[in-house]
């Protein structure tokens, strides 16, 4: 039996302990429960346990869940690959998008964000390990895209996101997280925007390391909900 409530409590406790040990300020690490391929019932259990941020990868699946849970105070994060023909739905239904990897997608999300909603919180996805199989922009192109996105009135550029290559070697993952943190700090200084304060990295396998290396948004699925149905 998967105990979602206990899993969330255990992860939150670990985050607190790591923050205390590293002297980081309280409230700077936010847990996004990745609920792709999980049921609405599982999401409700997590909500009852105090979880408010949820991450989804597939637009159609996500929009159905968002409709079903309407009226609850849920913060929805889109964390998957973005196709142009899906930007309208993403701009209409989500609060955050972590996976912006090109100007055209940012422009479409900006143009399609409903006027009555607050600006869409966005992060740029960085291909930190220069992995051909992964989405994301190269670190060299980060500042230029960030400056374009920061100028868009219906988007609020909140930070950077990364999905490092899976490695069983802790040193390799640590190195990727460090390069992300350095890029994040440099971009933050160059932009000078107070709300550019979010570094989205760390998943079930490596979130502890990510917290130690400065993550502010953790995207955790299986460690909360168990294995995903396919
Ligand atoms: C699925 C997914 C996660 C969660 O992965 P787990 O290993 O289940 O914690 C995090 N980030 C992204 C971008 C994902 O697609």
pLDDT tens for 6-16 read 999 999 999 99
What is the 221 CA–ligand 1 centroid distance (Å)?
6
What is the 116 CA–ligand 1 centroid distance (Å)?
31
Q: What is the mean pLDDT of residues 170-175?
A: 95
pLDDT at 117 over 90: yes
DSSP label of 185: H
In a 3-state reduction of DSSP, which class is residue 100?
A: strand
Q: What is the mean pLDDT of residues 86-103?
A: 98
Q: What is the mean pLDDT of residues 31-37?
A: 98
Q: Which residues make beta-bridge pairs with 157?
A: 122
The answer to whether 104 and 84 are in contact (CB under 8 A) is yes
Q: Is 219 in the pocket of ligand 1 (CB under 6 A)?
A: yes
How far is C-alpha 210 from the geometric centre of its chain's CA atoms? Answer: 13
What atom in ligand 1 is closest to the CA of residue 204?
9
Banded pLDDT at 24 (limits 50, 70, 90): confident
The answer to whether 116 and 135 are in contact (CB under 8 A) is no
Q: What is the mean pLDDT of residues 115-141?
A: 96
Banded pLDDT at 26 (limits 50, 70, 90): low
What atom in ligand 1 is closest to the CA of residue 207?
9
Q: Is 221 in the pocket of ligand 1 (CB under 6 A)?
A: yes
State the residue for tokens 């502010």.
216
Q: Is 159 in the pocket of ligand 1 (CB under 6 A)?
A: no
- Choose the residue to mutate in 36, 38, 55 for probing ligand 1, maximizing ligand atoms within 8 Å of C-beta: 55
Structure tokens at 51: 């979880």
Q: What is the mean pLDDT of residues 79-103?
A: 98
What atom in ligand 1 is closest to the CA of residue 79?
13
Q: Closest Cα partner for 196 from 179, 212, 216?
A: 216
Give, using CA atoms, the residue closest to atom 7 of ligand 1. Answer: 204
How far is C-alpha 58 from the geometric centre of its chain's CA atoms? Answer: 14
The answer to whether 199 and 184 are in contact (CB under 8 A) is yes
Q: Which residues contact residue 30 at a Cβ distance below 8 angstroms, ignoring those fewer than 6 apart? A: 53, 216, 217, 218
Query: What's residue 101's pLDDT?
Result: 97
What is the residue-averaged pLDDT of the chain? 96
Q: Cα–Cα distance between 93 and 152 in angstroms, integer?
A: 19
Q: Is the model's pTM score more than 0.85? A: yes
Which long-range CB contacts under 8 A does 62-68 form with residues at least 24 apart? 62/36, 62/93, 62/94, 63/89, 63/93, 65/35, 65/40, 66/93, 68/40
Structure tokens at 138: 């190269």
Structure tokens at 89: 């739905």
Q: What is the mean pLDDT of residues 51-64?
A: 98
Q: Closest Cα partner for 176 from 149, 146, 136?
A: 136
Give, using CA atoms, the residue closest to atom 13 of ligand 1. Answer: 79
Query: What's residue 223's pLDDT?
Result: 98
pLDDT at 76 over 90: yes
DSSP label of 141: G
Q: Is 58 in the pocket of ligand 1 (CB under 6 A)?
A: no
In a 3-state reduction of DSSP, which class is residue 214?
A: coil
Structure tokens at 86: 């899906």
What is the 229 CA–ligand 1 centroid distance (Å)?
14
pLDDT at 230 over 80: no
């Amino acid at each position: 039996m998967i105990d979602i409530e206990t899993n969330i409590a255990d992860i939150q406790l670990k985050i607190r302990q790591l923050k205390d040990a590293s002297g980081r300020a309280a409230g700077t690490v936010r847990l996004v429960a990745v609920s792709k391929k999980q049921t609405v019932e599982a999401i409700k259990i997590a909500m009852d346990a105090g979880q408010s941020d949820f991450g989804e990868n597939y637009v159609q699946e996500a929009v159905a869940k968002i409709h079903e849970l309407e009226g609850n105070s849920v913060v929805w994060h889109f964390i998957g690959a973005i196709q142009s023909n899906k930007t309208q739905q993403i701009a209409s239904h989500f609060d955050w998008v972590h996976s912006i990897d090109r100007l055209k997608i940012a422009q479409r999300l900006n143009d399609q964000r409903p006027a009555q909603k607050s600006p869409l919180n966005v992060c740029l996805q960085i291909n930190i390990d220069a992995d051909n199989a992964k989405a994301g922009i190269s670190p060299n192109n980060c500042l230029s895209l960030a400056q374009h996105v920061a100028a868009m009135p219906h988007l609020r550029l909140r930070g950077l996101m990364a999905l490092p290559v899976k490695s069983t070697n802790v040193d390799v993952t640590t190195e990727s997280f460090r390069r992300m943190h350095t890029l994040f700090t440099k971009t933050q200084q160059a932009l000078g925007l107070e709300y550019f304060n979010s570094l989205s990295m760390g998943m079930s396998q490596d979130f502890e390391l990510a917290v130690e290396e400065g993550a502010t948004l953790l995207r955790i699925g299986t460690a909360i909900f168990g294995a995903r149905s396919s």
